[in-house]
Amino acid sequence: MRDQFIKTLTELAEKDPKIFLITGDLGFGVLTDFAKRFPNQFLNIGVAEQNMAGVAAGIALEGRTVYIYSIGNFPSLRCLEQIRNDACYHNANVKVVCIGGGFSYGALGMSHHATEDLAIMRSLPGVKVFAPSDLWETAEATKATASTPGVCYLRLDKSKADTVPLENESFKFGKLRTLKQGSSLALLSVGGITEVALEVSKKLDTLGISSSVISVHTLKPFDDDGLKDVIKNHKYLVTIEEHNLTGGLAGAVAESALMSQAYPSQFLRIGLQDTYSSVVGSQNYLRKYYNMDAEYILNRILKMVH
């Protein structure tokens, strides 16, 4: 997803000199070409994320579309006050890019696990929140951030679903995207862990349980009408997120369903419980440890439907 983001941003920068990228002293191999080609549209501000967000807001208020780029929690939580007060409050055209959502950098420990970012960025007024599940959504979400005024948050994962767009499919900002159509149960997922949702759905097929897989690439604004239709057409609803259960996808779905007075027969939430991920390991290891792997999810679903 990271490479796809840079590729798409490079294409945008070629056409629009107002595109500006600031990195917090990382991504050298990935950003080298961009820095060489667009020296007047690039800045390495060093390990100074708060300053990165403040400078980005200032440049944006001069008419630029500014992307700030770093790992996990560094471009979001570390500089949250600057994002809130400098960028959001002034509706500056700042795009916050997190590479390494969830457990992508699991081996580096809890400080690098982005497991509360979606909830926190959702809570900031006016911020649009994107979390693509595959490479096509990554490219399209990047374009959407460039064309959408104000502050956007783009969460990029190390993992991804291997899905491709349908012929003539267009990216619909703020809308749910159905990756697999079923009838009994709907799996709603956000980000790279959608690959697990698809794996679970295939296993359910072998057991005679028809399931849909739906990518929530735009968490805010949330597709209330789309969710209402999903609940209308499925008996069971399951949310899957590599994120704390509080305030992320499950929270957005619950809020939307209650406000729309649309109630599934049963609702299952898969994600990180209200705890810090203190264990260190690969992304797949941590998914299994924290009960987000396909085997665990399948067993929870079977208990729900039987």
Q: 3-state SS string over the chain?
A: CHHHHHHHHHHHHHHCCCEEEEECCCCHHHHHHHHHHCHHHEEECCCCHHHHHHHHHHHHCCCCEEEEEEECCCCCCCCHHHHHHHHHCCCCCEEEEEECCECCCHHHCHHHCECCHHHHHHCCCCCEEECCCCHHHHHHHHHHHHHCCCCEEEEECCCCCCCCCCCCCCCCCCCCEEEECCCCEEEEEEHHHHHHHHHHHHHHHHCCCCEEEEECCEEECCCHHHHHHHHHHCCEEEEEEEEECCCCHHHHHHHHHHHHCCCCCEEEEEEECCCCCCCCCCHHHHHHHCCCCHHHHHHHHHHHHC
Which candidate, 173, 150, 157, places its Cα nearest to that of 56? 150
What pLDDT shows up at residue 25?
Answer: 87
- Is pTM beyond 0.85? Reply is yes
What is the dihedral angle through the alpha carbons of 244, 250, 252, 254, rounded to the nearest 10 degrees? -140
What pLDDT shows up at residue 72?
Answer: 86
Q: Scan for tokens 């007024």, then name that residue.
A: 125
Question: Would you call 206 exposed, middle or buried from its count of C-beta atoms within 10 A (0-12, 13-18, 19+)?
Answer: exposed
What pLDDT shows up at residue 272?
Answer: 97
What pLDDT shows up at residue 26?
Answer: 82
Mean pLDDT by groups of 10 residues along the chain of 306 residues = 96 97 87 94 94 97 96 92 97 96 93 95 97 97 97 96 92 96 97 98 97 98 97 97 97 97 96 95 97 98 94
Angle, helix 2-15 to helix 28-37, in steps of 10 degrees: 10
What pLDDT shows up at residue 304?
Answer: 95
Over its C-alpha atoms, the chain yields an Rg (Å, rounded) of: 19
What pLDDT shows up at residue 27?
Answer: 73
| Phi, psi dihedral angles at 275 (to 5 degrees) | -155, 165
What pLDDT shows up at residue 128?
Answer: 98
| 271-to-7, 57, 193, 241, 275 alpha-carbon distances in Å | 31, 33, 10, 5, 11
Query: In angstroms, rounded to a whole number, what is the distance separating the alpha carbons of residues 96 and 18?
Result: 16
